[in-house]
Chains A and B, each alone.
Chain A
């Protein structure tokens, strides 16, 4: 049956040869290679839950009177966007689960991209020939952040509306063209003509996801074409890939992982409340609440805006609001340019133009590892700075002190992180056998009184590392070997 249908397809598409190769494609085994899979699968969850949400969400700023089942809101004038979001949370079966799962999936999507990117960075997987795929990945991260912000803005609640107000001011701060761009984007002066929610909606559900999907195809296509990187190990060279075949081993494991990632997202969606917009209330441009913070992936920008000194430039009849423009536009611009161009910065510095399929251990590249640690600590410091008010309350310290702490910390901490990481890497490189799985040394005493040392048996799970890797066999003798030589037993040879 399968044979017949494959022949039918192959007559028309000629897929047998490439398909076989694809089924035999080898995936190296390492836990850190799963990080990208988390991003992929949370994107799948985003698509499914997102389609569900589009069926009930009304992208309109039009004011109506709320008549749903949430009592505190009954009879209030709210926008259709807000009312429909509350409605799909409370009046649509499974709606709240889907909405919260969607929000959690977005947070996990961006989190796993960040961790996946760190893995790729610290192991040098971005080196030739994979620079383009690195850039595609960075672009998806950027689009993911943008789309997260757009989606977060749609429900028209008090907190997200404040975020849109800030976005308007940021666009407005761009020298020369800022006010024009802001007016075009919002259809007029803030809060615009009620066009911003429909516009964000089409960007959020159509245009940005479409681009991300296209780039995702490129990302995975390049991965297949260029094959996976692998860590150094027995039988692993620059010219081969050692691991499990696509079919059936990898497929089973990754399908299971898809289910488990989805499960975690839905468990969070059901048990960990996120963005309870009915508590925040409808957005009004003159209302605000305490401890307004964006989703976590915007925190580094919010923190940068908080700790920036008030350096507005005024002169020649114009104003350049550097206190906004520097932290909100120039700072992320620099960071993303460093990300995009890092493979070329590094190869320019090392003069290394060779192909690299074997991964580095981070300690073996102290400068890169130290630079990565410095970047992560810079981003972590600006991220933490987005909670200055909460910290000041929690630790009972004056807000001023917290702010000044972060103003210095964003400069000092990355430098310290660089130096410390560099030193640790060099220390680790000097020590022999660090990080290798050790075997117990068994000391034996012979009857004659002679002492000898032998290594213990490999640990469970290390056993298969001892085997030499073989190509995936095309055919398998399906008959036990002791019977295979007997008369009349069919051997599978074609």
Chain B
């Protein structure tokens, strides 16, 4: 729109029989009939949409009437433009839009000389203005960024699991040692924190003949065939929700990391870099499953502060 291409006076008028002004169609009457039919279909389609809406018809009827209406009307207008309007071809000159060298020099001079003169003469004011605006920029970051949330602190290393926490389902139901069949799994939380994301733990009951290979110091972390691992994938934090009983693998459905349940949830395959942290569990005198301590490391994906 800012495009300035000056014309030197009006062009001579074009004759009505100029081939450039003739329609593209060989049979304009036929083309007009096609466009007209399309537009009528479009009109009917829109009426149909109005009716469909009014009587509360289905989404499909609304889409069909509206879609066919717009498709037909659009086709009609396009056919009108393509086949019945002056076929051309028409031409437009391009004009170099860059300025002349003299104009560029003048612009540069205005910036460099006029600006330079002012700034060089008042170095103190220039410096103070730079100082003030830079300070403003930095302090404005506080409300704009710092207010958004708390500092991480130790939060990423902490969960609500501690020695004695009862294992409960998301509904708060306590788990006894007989609750799971062999091969069963259950998502559990520490009592009072049901549904909490970092606390999610997958509890698996293994067949008694399967002895999980535990690293030294972790031999008593499972109890009565039960083992418990953090359910948060160490790759990107998805819940590791698929348990393959026959292969004793936990699979993360997001990016297909596979963890070996019998080997301390060591990642066997896929992008996950670390085992799922294990939660030490025990059975109390009443047969309830309880945590025997918290996690020994941060759960979930890696981050800079993690040692």
Contacts from A to B (Cβ < 8 Å): 18, 21-22, 24-26, 93-94, 96-97, 100, 129, 162, 165-166, 168-170, 172-180, 182-193, 195, 221, 224-227, 235, 238-245, 248-253, 255-260, 262-264, 266-267, 269-271, 284-292, 302, 305-312, 314, 317-321, 323-324, 357, 388-389, 399-400, 403, 460-461, 464-465, 467, 469-481, 491-494
Contact = CB atoms under 8 A, between A and B. Distances in A.
B234 to A, nearest CB: 9
B89 A93 contact: no
Interface in B196-237: 196-198, 200, 231, 235-237
B81 interface: yes
Nearest to B268: A400
Contact of A243 (B63, B71, B77, B88): B88
Given A242-B90, A324-B301, A471-B90, A262 B77 contact: no
Nearest to B5: A21
22 contacts: A26-B90, A178-B303, A225-B2, A225-B3, A227-B94, A249-B82, A249-B86, A255-B74, A260-B75, A271-B64, A287-B241, A292-B238, A306-B270, A318-B307, A320-B304, A324-B271, A403-B256, A464-B89, A469-B88, A469-B91, A471-B91, A479-B16
Contacts of B257: 310
Nearest to A233: B89
Contacts of A290: 242, 253
Given A188-B155, A319-B306, A323-B273, A306 B256 contact: yes
Given A173-B303, A241-B92, A259-B74, A321 B20 contact: no
B78 interface: yes
Interface in B88-127: 88-94, 97
B276 interface: no
Contact of A480 (B16, B75, B86, B87): B16
A176 B1 CA distance: 48
Given A187-B148, A260-B75, A240 B155 contact: no
Contacts of B269: 399-400, 403
Contacts of B16: 476-481
A173 B236 CA distance: 9
B85 interface: yes
Interface string B45-68: 000000001001001101110111
Contact of A225 (B78, B97, B272): B97
B40 interface: no
Contacts of A287: 239, 241
A195 B149 CA distance: 10
A239 B24 CA distance: 26
Contacts of A477: 13-16
Contacts of A320: 302, 304
A225 B3 CA distance: 5
A162 B254 contact: yes
Contacts of B128: none
Contacts of A249: 81-82, 85-86, 88
Nearest to A305: B255
Contacts of A480: 16-17
Nearest to A289: B253
A241 B135 CA distance: 51
B239 A269 contact: no
The majority secondary structure among interface residues of chain B is: loop
A169 B74 CA distance: 46
Interface string B264-307: 00010111111000000000000000000000000011111111
A493 B40 CA distance: 39
Contacts of B79: 256
A469 B89 contact: yes
A179 B235 contact: no
A255 B42 CA distance: 14
Interface residues of B, number: 96
A186 B237 CA distance: 15
Contact of B152 (A166, A189, A478): A189
Please indicate which of the listed interface residues A24, A165, A290 has the most CB atoms of chain B within 10 Å of its own CB: A165
B132 interface: no
B21 to A, nearest CB: 7
B88 A244 contact: yes
A318 B304 contact: yes
Nearest to A171: B303
A467 B149 contact: no
Contacts of A245: 88, 90
A339 B199 CA distance: 42
Given A183-B149, A310-B273, A242 B89 contact: yes
Given A305-B255, A310-B271, A312-B274, A256 B76 contact: yes
Contacts of A221: 1-2
A166 B88 contact: no
B30 interface: no
B11 A288 contact: no
Given A225-B3, A241-B92, A264-B71, A184 B148 contact: yes
A286 B197 contact: yes
B161 interface: no
B90 to A, nearest CB: 5
A221 B20 CA distance: 29
Contacts of A305: 235-236, 255, 271
B237 A169 contact: yes
Contacts of A179: 152, 156, 303-305
Closest 10 CB pairs between A and B?
A270-B63, A252-B81, A259-B74, A256-B78, A321-B302, A312-B273, A473-B14, A267-B67, A469-B91, A285-B197
A260 B81 CA distance: 14
B94 A306 contact: no
B92 to A, nearest CB: 4
Contacts of A475: 10-11, 13-14
Nearest to A473: B14
Contact of A389 (B53, B253, B300, B303): B253
Given A184-B145, A481-B16, A243 B89 contact: yes
A479 B303 CA distance: 80
B152 A269 contact: no
A309 B256 CA distance: 12
B172 interface: no
Contact of B63 (A192, A235, A239, A267): A267
Contact of B74 (A257, A308, A403): A257
A329 to B, nearest CB: 13
Contact of B255 (A263, A284, A306, A465): A306
Given A166-B237, A188-B149, A476-B13, 11 more contacts: A26-B92, A94-B59, A166-B236, A184-B149, A245-B90, A253-B77, A306-B271, A310-B257, A324-B236, A475-B14, A491-B13
Contact of B60 (A270, A289, A403): A270
Given A180-B152, A260-B70, A319 B237 contact: no
